[in-house]
Structure 1
């Protein structure tokens, strides 16, 4: 008898293997046809025969498929081409993305319940413009538009990382609405087209070129001032003069090639007058980052506002 035509001694038919594994014959045939479950031999009539090790392999295949691993990934694990830990890590990441999308969708649906018909229409417009789960590409574009020209890429990246709020993993309806409003704000025509100096949408005065202005010096010096001010915000201290403000003024003075004098501080206070557009951005950002309980972590906008207020306090 040819070697590939053996009797079933010590081997199982496809039906016997399926019965022992608690699956259908169709399932065993499916995995066999895709090379995941090699047959040991064929009977004289050409029927598939499997050795005892096939049962353990089939159970492993079922376990991997229960985790929703695609068939090609199962094959690579069985053949030793990929580590199971790496495959599982990839699946965990994918499941996390799906859960984030579902949580976002749930909060968005809740947002559309207890409101008037007019509010519902507006909210539907806002959340319909945001992907699920949302991304922050539009927010990053806003900052690249807002920041002064010719900043080094490392500085731009650092500012964007600090300024762009990540979407919450488990958002409340209020956070979904705040993120949708923020997205709607940054994709408005004035920011899509870019700020223009000859319109109401131009750069703030402190960003105006042609004054010996060194923006890189400013944006490299501000983080230290913001961190010092953040400590005061966390402690609930009112804006006041001191190290945080001195650091803030020094960054602006160095960027403008000026000395820190009383006159310069008065001029700087005027230049840094409240900017409605950027203030609105930070208000919405604070809503997005607001924790379920306890005070929110200070945003760069909150620290900047604290410092600007401190700059205007009497000596």
Structure 2
């Protein structure tokens, strides 16, 4: 071991340096041996002595080592062969390269884990991640050309070829993962078939359009309008087959018609032909794999992903099927909606339904109900929503939070409060004597619809919990007659509010017959 400095020169022994810097003697000796800290002198016994600048020099070495810089590079800095700035830049570049490699390795491993890949796939996935930009473009180009081979849809083909996966120079793990998934997706025959169907549809409907850019922008605008209106309708609880869906569809068709100018045999006005054509376009475009393809392309390049179309698309296609032509209002549906009788029916129905709700125990909330896919809790939440929505219409501020939780932790209080709010709004706003919407539907009829809904769902709740189903006997017959008037012509199509009418046994109560009319099995 190096000894102590005893000659009074002010030089430091290795032990004293260790005490001053907190570095181990072994580390200081190693750095000294590698010419990072040359001794200033030696004792007669040969022990190393260091000058007063040694602590500062050791701090430089320690700091550079903490940043991962190698000893050879540190020696060059200390010997003034290069500057700290030059060394830092070189090592930063080296670290960046290591980080990119680690990101690549991480992305491949995460993709392997997510896909459940077999060992045989590892070389292929690693190779995909290392491809150059030109090689990535070639994969997509070959895919598009193969999928669209023989289809005369130049605009559609150009759009696909223009959207190539350009990874940035320093891609994130998410971008690398998206590229790996995209490269795997384009090998799927189902995606190729889906793109080909879309291209063939484009070829059938395309025409000589003078301003393709303007036409494309108009189509994009209409697609966004459809997405927004469809999602708004879903949020507002508008059933696709309900009369309330017709104004939405009419607006969408009117916005869509100009985009058909220049196509083969373009429709010029709203009607069955126009709606059938729009429905065909939407059904053709409803390709989940194609939607995923575009999402991955955006993820690879770092562009914002296109909004999802599934919710709005499902609603809009169902609404078009339910409304194949412009709606011609049957004013007779408004007959028989005497405001006083409707209000009394609401009071009697909610009285009996509230008793059912009050009897629901916490353990009952998970029970299934005759409403397909709904538990008792979901059914109660919907019933509360019906009251809240009617209240908001009466107050002139229709709600759009259909999918929110309206029940909370106390289903009894939530239902009672919603009934109280609706009853107050019906009277205080004058709703029962006003008209609403583009068809000037009487407010009394809107309340009557709420009565029908609550009585039908009250039957659902009674059936789910084993309670008697003969609810509101004083007004059930009148409510059934109202249901025939309001919903008698409603289509029973996919996405409809009601299943096909079921038979009711002889002697069934009016509430049972209402449930059967609205598609419940009451046997």
Tell me the TM-score range normalised by the shorter chain: 0.3 to 0.5
Question: TM-score normalized by structure 1?
Answer: 0.47
Q: Which has the larger radius of gyration?
A: 2
